[in-house]
Structure 1
Amino acid sequence: MRACAVGTFAASVPLAIYAATASTRLRQLGVTAPGATIALAGGILAAGSLGLSGLICWAMSRPEVVVDDGLIRALYYLVFLTGGVGHIVALGLLLAGIAVPSLLLGLLPRTLAWVGLAIAVLAELATLVLIWPESAVVLPIARLTGFVWLIVVGALLPKRRTDRQRA
């Protein structure tokens, strides 16, 4: 349990760095619309909720906490809400903040930008988990596809606007 908590918390740091880097790159590429700021805000919120989830999970691993069933149940729900719904919805903002300007300015292949936007919409739909818990199946789908999309975008987003125009 503690190893999972530490891993979850540690994973939040590269996500925050990615968000800051992607936001800066979008601005360097001429994005003046709110997309770059939305990407930064979404990434920071996603990283923060993931980090908080890891810290709460770490607290759950403490011997003095394990003995209280009510406390463990409450902390479990907080881990689920911060690391699940909260993280995924914020991740959707990061994805949309990159996908929309990339689509409008031609920074990425159109298909890739549309896929990112679709994943962002799916991530935002994770809010429904709060009123319809059975829809939680969307959480791992949005998380996995979102992170794969971010990796691909990290490799394909041009360093300079002229790089994309020449291609």
Structure 2
Amino acid sequence: MNFSDTPRTTPSAHARRRPMGPHPGIVGAVSLALVIASLLVAAPMGGSPSFGSLAGAPQDQYGTTTQWSAMLLLGSAVPLGILAATLYSHLRGQGFRVPGPAIALFGGIGASSMLMLSALVTWTLSHEAIATDPRLARALELLAQSSGGVAHALGLGLLVAGVAVPGLLGRMLPAPLPWAGLLVAAICEVSVLSLVIAPLGFLTVLGRFAALVWLVVIGFALSRTTGTRTTGSRITTPKETS
């Protein structure tokens, strides 16, 4: 019997072809939906602290509404972290051994952590004892704004770039998608200038939403590549590597 003709199928090879885990597109969509829901809940009272739009709101508008907004924002951070881990696992499963996936994971964890911090600070602002102290309330508003705004956007930029670069070099995706991701990542990173140049604050909002939308799109696109894996910078099918 010629053992060389025996099909060689190992669990690791099978795992590379069919990565396990939650659907990245669906997880990303859940995170985006919760962010939008948080903003819609906060809209009647003037906005969300994480977007810098609650400062100066009447004290009687703090309370249950703010707590609901904070809860939804906190909830959105969980699927965002799961998405980062899923994308990292997917890229590693496709054969990438470059820093990109690790950078994406680092950025995703950072973005999720900063969003959690912003949500908890927003929840703290909902209490009357805090809201009635103008200086303390303003300090917490700034913390919620900076953590859920610039810091969150910086993490999202790293997450997007960490996925876009392997997607481009490995030719996993149509070229427009990775290039669009690199543009979004650049906007997110440049938004840090808004800390010293206030008029650039719009970059933070633009980068945040553009990054989340891109991650949803890329999540659905990457889920279709489970039948291929990368060797170097080229995508090959399992038959080509046998």
Question: Is 1:142 paired with 2:207?
Answer: yes
Q: Percent identity?
A: 39
Large movers: runs of 4+ above 3 Å:
162-166
Q: Which runs of 5+ in 1 are unaligned?
A: none
Q: Deviations over 1:102-151 (max 9, x none)?
A: 10001111110100011001110011011101100111211111111101
Say if 1:29 and 1:160, in contact at 8 Å, map to a contact too: no
- Select the residue among 149, 156, 165 that pairs with 1:84: 149
Once the two structures are TM-superposed, the CA of residue 64 in structure 1 deviates from its matched residue by 1.3
Distance between the aligned counterparts of 2:189 and 2:228, measured in 1? 29
**Structure 2: which 5+ residue stretches go unaligned?**
1-65, 238-242
* 8 Å CA contact 1:95, 1:116 repeated in 2: yes
Secondary structure of the structure 2 residue equivalent to 1:46: helix
Choose which of 207, 218, 226 in structure 2 pairs with 1:159. 226
TM-score using structure 1 length: 0.95
Aligned residue identity for 1:132: I
Q: Give the structure with the larger helix fraction.
A: 1
Contact 2:95 2:229 in 1 (8 A): no
Q: Which amino acid aligns with 1:125?
A: V
CA distance in 1, matches of 2:203, 2:93: 33
TM-score (norm 2): 0.66
Deviation at 1:165, TM superposition (A): 4.6
- Equivalent of residue 24 in structure 1, options 82, 89, 107: 89
- Partner of residue 108, structure 1: 173
Q: CA RMSD in A?
A: 1.3
Task: Tell which structure's C-alpha radius of gyration is larger.
Answer: 2
Distance in 2 (CA, whole Å) between partners of 1:70 and 1:159 is 53
3-state DSSP class of the match of 1:31? Answer: coil
Equivalent position of 1:119 in the other structure: 184
Residues 23-77 of structure 1: per-residue CA shift (max 9 Å, x gap): 0101001111100000000000000000110000000001211111110000000
Q: Is the 8 A contact 2:112 2:152 kept in 1?
A: yes
Aligned length: 166
